[in-house]
Amino acid sequence: MIYRETTLKDAWLIELEPRGDERGSFARSMCREEFLQHGMAGDYVQQNTSVSAQRGTLRGLHYQIQPYAEAKLIRCIRGAIVDVIVDLREDSPSYLQHEAFELTDRNRHQLYVPPGFAHSFQTLVDDTEVSYLVSAPYTPHAERGLRFNDELLGIVWPLPVSTMSDKDRAWPLIDERVEKLF
């Protein structure tokens, strides 16, 4: 695997290194020891799969508060997405900054999202499937989110939003919050 630093502290874009022969190819997509060497979570407790039927579907921006914060390892296994992460760690030099990454079934890139980040993605094509490992179990009372169109974040989505959950549309704006983000 090739580990590429991002503009956001502790987040990584990971490129697989497939090895091929007449059968096809093989590549490692997760290695505990390598992840730990890069300061990443090495243990994951669940794997989630998301299937979106329609191009323009937006999911997120989701995160869990302490002590249930989770690292995620995101990969698009069918179709294409733009994945957006936001650093919510107040002591980080990249606090409230975001970065976008195109993850597709063709480029096979993965995105490591550290604890303390909000995560979201928008599908670029119909019938897109995303799979991700999570380092902490889903804990409903610890779930939080950011509004996808919060002007304070200034995220420019590549497509108009075609589909989104009511919950994701209703997350409060950062300026309206009474509790700390993370």
CA 11, distance to chain mean position in Å, is 10
SS (H, E, C) the chain: CEEEECCCCCCEEEECCCEEECCEEECCCCCHHHHHHCCCCCCCCEEEEEEECCCCCEEEEEEECCCCCCCEEEEEEECEEEEEEEECCCCCCCCCCEEEEEEECCCCCEEEECCCEEEEEEECCCCEEEEEEECCCCCHHHEEECCCCCCCCCCCCCCCCCCCCHHHHCCCCHHHCCCCCC
> What's the length of the chain?
182
pLDDT digits (tens, 9 = 90+) for 64-108: 999 999 999 999 999 999 999 999 999 999 999 999 999 999 999
Active-site residue set? 62, 132
Looking up tokens 């993850």 gives 103
Looking up tokens 């420019």 gives 156
pLDDT of residue 182: 82
pLDDT digits (tens, 9 = 90+) for 111-142: 999 999 999 999 999 999 999 999 999 999 99
pLDDT of residue 179: 84
